[in-house]
Structure formats: C-alpha cells, structure tokens
Amino acid sequence: MSISQTVVDFVTLAIQAGGYMELDRLYLQNRIIALIGEDSLTEVNPQNTKNSLELLDDLVEKAKKNGVIDDSLAQKEILEAQLMDFLTPPPSVVNAFFAQHYAKKPEDATDYFFKLCQENDYIKTRAIAKNVVFPATTEYGDLEITINLSKPEKDPKEIAALRNVATVHYPKCMICMENEGYKGRMNYPARSNHRIIRMNLNGESWGFQYSPYAYYNEHCIVLSEEHRPMKISRATFERLLTIIEVLPHYFVGSNADLPIVGGSILSHDHYQGGKHTFAMAKAPIEKEIQLSVFKTIKAGIVKWPMSVIRLQGKDKTEMINACEYILQAWKQYSDESVCIQAYSEDGTPHHTVTPIARRNGDLYEVDLVLRDNNISEEFPDGIFHPHPDVQHIKKENIGLIEVMGLAVLPPRLLSELAEVEKYVLQIPNNMAEYHKTWADEMMQRHEFTKANARDIIRSEVGQIFARVLEDAGVFKRDEAGQQAFLRFTDTL
C-alpha cells in the first residue's frame, strides 16, 4: 500500500469517527503528511482494507524513514497519539455523543466510548494482549492471575537521557484532568488522543475515562476534577452509590486511603470500576451478622481470604449510613490479641476500608474490606501485607484489584517461572535463589513432567496469591481469627 493510500484511508476513519466532515478531508490529509514528513500526496480512492492500528503503524514507519522521529519509545508514542488524535472527536463532541447514547441506555454510552478508546489506541489493546493471564482454582473460587507485560520498557539510552530532563509539574499527576490532549514528553506519557467524560457527582465535577493499560474488561477510572488526596469518608460511599446508579452495569470501588494498604496513586481522589465480575463478588456470605441500627440492611461476613463485610439493601441512604457506621467503628477498633491496633501511641491512624459497590438486581451491594497498615519488628513491610515467604511472587501493595481476586504480578516472573520449570524438571537452569525453597517444596508434593510442569507451577502461583490475600486479611481464617472477627461484628 502506498503512503498516499494509507493517509487517505486513515482520514476516512477520522471522518467516520464523527469529529470531522467530508469537507475537512484535504485539511486532514495535509495535516497528517506534515506530521510524518511527506511533502505531497498522489490521488487515490479510499479502500479501507486496514484497521486504524495497522494504518497507524504504516504512518509511524514512514515518519521514521523520513527522520521525523528516531527509535526512542517516547518520540514514537507522542507521534502515535498525535496521529490518533485525528481519529478522536474533540472533548465536547465526545461528551455530546456519550450523552446521546446514554439517553437510550447507559450501556450504549459506555460501549461507544470504550470502542472509541480502543480504536484510537488510547486503550493499548495490543500491549494488553501481551499479558500472561491464567485462572487458579482455590478454596475461595477461581482467582485470576496476570503477569503484567503490557507497559513497554524504555531502553538504557532513554533511561540515561531522562537524568537530564528538567522537572515539570504539569500535569500534577497521571490522572489529572489536564492530561486530556497533553502532548507528552520524554518522561511523561503522550495523551493527545485522551478524552474524559464529564460527570456531576453530588454537586461536584468529576471525570470518567478508561485505563490505557487495563487489567480487566472495560477497566475505568472516575476521577475528581480537583487534585486532592484520596480519603475514605461518608462522601466516598455517597459517590460510589451514585456512580452505580449512573452506570448500573459497572461495579466501582476505591483503593484504601493509607500507605501500605492503599493504591499507587493516593495523591488524587479517584475510583476504579468496570464491566467485570471478580471472584470476590461471586463469594458467598458464610456468616450473617446483625446491624441492629439498620433494620433494612442485610449484612454478613464473606467467605474470602481477606476480611470482608457485605451489605445489601434497597435504601440508598440507609446503605450509606451503614457503611459510614462500620468505617467509623473499624477506625476506632483494637484487638491486640490478634495484633490489631487502631492508632499508634503518637495518634497515627492505621485503620480504613477498601469499599466496592455494585448493583445486584434492585439491591445496592457494598463490600467493605477491612484494612490495617500497622508494621512490626517481625513484619516491617506491614503486618497485613504479603509476608516475606511469599514475596518472591508478590511483594507489592495489595490494592483494590488484588483485593477482589485478580493478581497483578511483576514482569520478572515470566522469565523466572520458566527457570523454575527447568529446575523442577531437573535440567540446567538459572533459577533465582529466592524461589528455591518454594521449588523444593513443590518437588516433594508433585511428580513433574514436561507435559504438566507449567500447569502445576501456575496452579501453585495461584495458591500463593490466595496466601498473599490471607496475609492481608486482618482477621485470619483460623479459629482464633474468626472468633476475633465475630467480636468486632458484635460491636456493630
């Protein structure tokens, strides 16, 4: 295909996206050839034989040949986003289309926006496809394991060059509103093709967007227009329940608001949601509890490795009141017999919750996961954090996504588990020393063959992830822990 054909077909997709009209064709073609370093076009008719990503690759390759960009990842991503910006209507138009679809059905609106963000390469579908994903059957249901390979790694030259890049405090963080349309720079991602749907949540301005490197179906982010720290409060529950009214086909949840047990971005108030059913949502209530103050709310302890109280009810205000009541009770609660302490001697708070909300028929359903970020001499990384014997698999914070049963494991494990496989098959290997104890234990319990080794190792990784979640549970699954859990729920 000639470069002229590529440009013409790309412009056809831009017009079809709704941001431009046929009258804009010549303008768009000239803008695009300028970006890729071409001076002219030959006359061709649209063919539409390639999709947007294939056409994008051709345009970027031509730009490289023309010396417009070099081989650096940053320059490539900036140009890709600038080109895909033509396939993305302006924010006002995207919001208008979203509203038109929403008037018919909320799911139609998110279908439109999700498809747009895939076709304009804001959602990195090809990169996400590189992730290694497999299920793991455990006593808590089928957990989901992901080895995260989607985010591209810079080469050593680019990393070295970043040392000389001036510090810029704009945008303030990765999820601020001012990311919309931002060109990007050597040390900051390109966002020319980024769009945000505006939302009004209880009188405040918020935004709705998708995650570029999604971990599950329609992984979205709901973010405050104001750059302010995350805080779990009554307002959190009010917003979460409003969001699932606006988008009843999505779940939505919040990371905890304390270090160690919180997410990676505590500096900006935001929530995550999407169209996915996690193992925790499928887990049953194993013990009902009574909330005597809230007669219309059904409550119970969920059969889950972490400590989860599930609330169900039809009355929104009553649900918000119950959530706030449990949060405040937990923030003040201590039980030193199971290492649970609400405050340090200097008054530092250690208790919060990871809340998740969803619709279940005509019910509001909220899971409150109890969190504690205390540390000790024995566990300096966190008493309720993955303990040292499982950190060879997962040592990072247990955030919202992991809490619900989806492990996001580091890229190093792809090659490391391949070496573990060689080790258990007793062939030459370069297995990391920190996997040895685990590998030796597996060899005592399993007969490994070339045919079964990978499946057994992946199953064992799943069991370790279940253990990781048990470590993060404040009330352990043993008899002492469950009795302690009931002592807390009795106070409710």
Angle between helices 25-36 and 73-84 in degrees, nearest 10: 180
The DSSP bridge partners found for residue 201 are 204
Burial of 490 (0-12, 13-18, 19+ CB in 10 A): exposed
Containing structural domain, residue 29: 1-68
Peptide bond into 171 cis (omega under 30): yes
What pLDDT, on the 0 to 100 scale, is given for residue 264? 77
What pLDDT, on the 0 to 100 scale, is given for residue 155? 63
Rounded-to-integer distance, Cα 383 and Cα 464, Å: 17
pTM for the model: 0.94
Burial of 21 (0-12, 13-18, 19+ CB in 10 A): exposed
Number of residues that this document lists for the chain: 492
* Any domain includes 34: yes
* Any domain includes 21: yes
* Any domain includes 36: yes
What is the number of alpha carbons within 13 Å of residue 7 lying toward its C-beta?
25
* Any domain includes 24: yes
Q: Which H helix or E strand runs over 459?
A: helix 453-472
* Any domain includes 353: no
* Any domain includes 55: yes
Contacts of 281 (CB under 8 A, 6+ apart): 251, 356, 358, 367, 404
Tokens in use for 180? Answer: 């919309």
* Any domain includes 19: yes
What pLDDT, on the 0 to 100 scale, is given for residue 172? 94
CB 335 within 8 A of CB 353: no
Rounded-to-integer distance, Cα 386 and Cα 379, Å: 9
Cα four-point dihedral sign 401, 405, 406, 411: positive
* Any domain includes 290: no
Tally of domains in the chain: 1
pLDDT tens, N- to C-terminus, the chain (492 residues): 899 999 999 999 999 999 999 999 999 999 999 999 999 999 999 998 899 999 999 999 999 999 999 989 999 999 999 999 999 999 999 999 999 999 999 999 999 999 999 999 999 999 999 999 999 999 999 999 999 999 776 666 666 666 677 788 899 999 999 999 999 998 999 999 999 999 999 999 999 999 999 999 999 999 999 999 999 999 999 999 999 999 999 999 999 999 999 877 889 999 999 999 999 999 999 999 999 899 999 999 999 999 999 999 999 999 999 999 999 999 999 999 999 999 999 999 999 999 999 999 999 999 999 999 999 999 999 999 999 999 999 999 999 999 999 999 999 999 999 999 999 999 999 999 999 999 999 999 999 999 999 999 999 999 999 999 999 999 999 999 999 999 999 999
